């Protein structure tokens, strides 16, 4: 599962060929042992948990990088390598 970005202790990953379980574009996120699945492009928490503050930060990042995330999703869904996305600074 390639890491596409890391910021403020949040690790963002995208799985290859990960279209069967959730069927919608999404990212996998880890923060201090917590795991979550977040829909793109709307930032909705689909599964798991994150502190509210970190979820809001992540949702802002998703909004800023929506086009890049959707492009990575298309690549990953086809089993192709994804590109890193700029973290929040």
3-class SS of residue 89: coil
Question: What is the model's pLDDT at position 33?
Answer: 97
**What's the rounded Cα separation, in Å, for the pair 16 and 46?**
18
- Give the helix/strand (H/E) hosting 60: helix 52-64
Question: What is the model's pLDDT at position 22?
Answer: 65
Q: CA 71, 68, 63: angle at the middle one, nearest 5? A: 125
Question: What is the model's pLDDT at position 54?
Answer: 97
3-class SS of residue 15: coil
Structure tokens at 55: 């979820």
pLDDT (tens place) for every residue of the chain, 89 residues total = 799 999 999 999 998 877 666 678 999 999 999 999 999 999 999 999 999 999 999 999 999 999 999 999 999 988 899 999 999 98
């Amino acid at each position: 599962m390639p890491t596409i970005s890391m910021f403020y202790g949040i690790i963002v990953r995208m799985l290859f060929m990960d279209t069967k379980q959730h069927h919608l574009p999404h990212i996998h996120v880890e923060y201090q042992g917590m795991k979550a699945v977040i829909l793109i492009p709307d930032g909705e928490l689909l599964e798991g948990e994150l502190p509210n503050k970190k979820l809001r930060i992540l949702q802002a990042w998703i909004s800023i990088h929506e086009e890049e995330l959707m492009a990575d999703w298309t690549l990953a869904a086809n089993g192709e390598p994804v590109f890193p996305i700029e973290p929040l600074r």
